[in-house]
Structure 1
Amino acid sequence: MAVDKVFDAIVVGAGHNGLAAAVELASRGWKVCVLEAKSTAGGAVNTQELTLPGFRHDVCAMNLSSFAGSPFYARHKDALARHGLAFVPAEHCFASVFRDQSWLGVSADLDTTVQRIRAVSEKDAHAWQAMLADFQIKAPHLFAVLGAPMPSWKLARSAWRSWRELGKEGVAELLQLLLATPRDFLDRHFESESLKAMMAAWGLHVDFAPDTAGGALFPYLESMANQAFGMVIGQGGADTIITAMTGLLQELGGQLQLDAPVCRIEQDKGHAKAVVLADGRRLQARKAIIANLNPQLVFGRLLDAQSVPAKYQKKVDEFRPGLGTMMLHLALDSLPDWTAGAELQRFAYVHLAPDLAMMSRVYAEAASGLLPAEPVLVVGQPTALDPGRAPQGSHVLWVQVRVLPARVCGDALGRIAAGDWSQIKQDYAQRVLDVLEAYAPGLRGKILASLVMSPQDLEQFNPSLIGGDNLSGSHHLDQNFFFRPVASYSRYNTPVKGLYLCGASTWPGAGTGAGSGFMLATMLAA
Structure 2
Amino acid sequence: MGGVDVVVVGAGPNGLAAALILAAAGLGVEVHEAADTVGGGARTAELTLPGFRHDVCSAVHPMAVASPFFRAMNLAAHGVELYQPDIAYAHPLDGGRAGLAYRDLDRTADGLGPDGPAWRRLLGPLVARWEDVVDTTMNDFRHVPPPAAALRFGLRTLEQGGPLWNVRFRGETAPALLTGVGAHAIAPVRGLGPAGAGLFLATLAHAVGWPIPRGGSQAIVDAMAAALQRLGGKIVTGHRVDSLDDLPPARAVLLDVAAEGLLRIAGERLPGAYRKRLRRFTYGGAAAKVDFALSGPVPWAAPEVARAGTLHIVGTRAEAAHAEREVANGRHAERPYVLAAQPSTVDATRAPDGKHVLWAYAHVPNGSTVDPTEAVTAQVERFAPGFRDLILDSHAIPAAAQSAHNPNYIGGDIAAGAVTAWQMVMRPVPHWDPYRTPLPGVYLCSASTPPGPAVHGMAGLHAARRVLRQRFGIRAEPLDLVRDKVKPA
Q: Same fold (TM over 0.5)?
A: yes
Q: Is 1:106 equivalent to 2:69 in the alignment?
A: no
Task: State the shift of 1:176 in Å.
Answer: 3.0
**Alignment check: 8 A CA contact 1:362 1:376 kept:** yes
Q: Is 1:320 equivalent to 2:263 in the alignment?
A: no
String of CA shifts for 1:138-186, please: whole Å, max 9, x gaps.
53433222232231xxx23x3xx52xxx3xxx76544333445446464
**Alignment check: 8 A CA contact 1:377 1:400 kept:** yes
Equivalent in the alignment of 1:415: none
Task: State the shift of 1:137 in Å.
Answer: 4.8
Distance in 2 (CA, whole Å) between partners of 1:135 and 1:369 is 35
Equivalent in the alignment of 1:270: none
Partner residue of 1:406 out of 366, 374, 377 = 366
Distance in 1 (CA, whole Å) between partners of 2:123 and 2:155 is 17
Distance in 2 (CA, whole Å) between partners of 1:183 and 1:255 is 48
Q: Is 1:521 equivalent to 2:482 in the alignment?
A: no
String of CA shifts for 1:64-108, please: whole Å, max 9, x gaps.
11122112122222xx54543221122211111112331110112
Moved more, 221-230 or 195-204: 221-230
Partner residue of 2:57 out of 53, 57, 60 = 60
Equivalent in the alignment of 1:283: 248
Q: Is 1:429 equivalent to 2:424 in the alignment?
A: no
String of CA shifts for 1:444-483, please: whole Å, max 9, x gaps.
11111110111012121111100001111011022111x1
Partner residue of 2:266 out of 303, 327, 333 = 303
Q: Count the aligned residue pairs.
A: 469
Q: Is 1:503 equivalent to 2:446 in the alignment?
A: yes
Amino acid at match of 2:434: R
Equivalent in the alignment of 1:333: 295
Equivalent in the alignment of 2:335: 374
Q: Is 1:357 equivalent to 2:324 in the alignment?
A: no
String of CA shifts for 1:304-324, please: whole Å, max 9, x gaps.
33x222221111111111111
Compared CA separation, residues 19 and 44, structure 1 to 2 (3 A):
same
Task: State the shift of 1:344 in Å.
Answer: 1.2
**Alignment check: 8 A CA contact 2:31 2:236 kept:** yes
Amino acid at match of 1:205: H
Distance in 2 (CA, whole Å) between partners of 1:368 and 1:331 is 33
Equivalent in the alignment of 2:134: 143
**Alignment check: 8 A CA contact 1:83 1:247 kept:** no
- Local SS of the residue matching 2:454: coil
Partner residue of 1:35 out of 28, 32, 36 = 32
Distance in 1 (CA, whole Å) between partners of 2:150 and 2:56 is 39
Q: Is 1:257 equivalent to 2:254 in the alignment?
A: no
Q: How does 1:444-483 map to 2 (within 5 A)?
A: 444-481=388-425, 483=426
Q: Is 1:486 equivalent to 2:429 in the alignment?
A: yes
**Alignment check: 8 A CA contact 2:9 2:257 kept:** yes
**Alignment check: 8 A CA contact 1:179 1:215 kept:** no
Moved more, 462-471 or 182-191: 182-191
Compared CA separation, residues 264 and 214, structure 1 to 2 (3 A):
closer
Distance in 2 (CA, whole Å) between partners of 1:194 and 1:451 is 32
Distance in 2 (CA, whole Å) between partners of 1:437 and 1:209 is 25
**Alignment check: 8 A CA contact 1:84 1:243 kept:** no
- Local SS of the residue matching 1:399: strand
Equivalent in the alignment of 2:479: none
State the TM-score, normalizing by the size of structure 2. 0.91
Q: Identity of aligned pairs, percent?
A: 30
- Local SS of the residue matching 2:130: helix
Equivalent in the alignment of 1:11: 8
Equivalent in the alignment of 1:269: none
String of CA shifts for 1:382-414, please: whole Å, max 9, x gaps.
001112111111000001112x11345xxxxxx
Amino acid at match of 2:64: F
Distance in 1 (CA, whole Å) between partners of 2:242 and 2:394 is 35
Q: Is 1:84 equivalent to 2:79 in the alignment?
A: yes
Q: How does 1:188-199 map to 2 (within 5 A)?
A: 188-199=167-178
Moved more, 366-375 or 442-451: 366-375
**Alignment check: 8 A CA contact 2:123 2:203 kept:** yes
Equivalent in the alignment of 1:246: 225
Moved more, 101-110 or 170-179: 170-179
String of CA shifts for 1:172-220, please: whole Å, max 9, x gaps.
5443334454464642432222100111111221123232234321211
Larger radius of gyration: 1
Distance in 2 (CA, whole Å) between partners of 1:26 and 1:452 is 38
Compared CA separation, residues 115 and 176, structure 1 to 2 (3 A):
closer
Q: What residue ranges of structure 2 are gaps of 5+ in the alignment?
A: 469-474, 476-489
Amino acid at match of 1:220: L
Distance in 1 (CA, whole Å) between partners of 2:185 and 2:50 is 32
Equivalent in the alignment of 2:41: 44
Amino acid at match of 1:292: D
Task: State the shift of 1:524 in Å.
Answer: 2.5
**Alignment check: 8 A CA contact 2:133 2:200 kept:** no
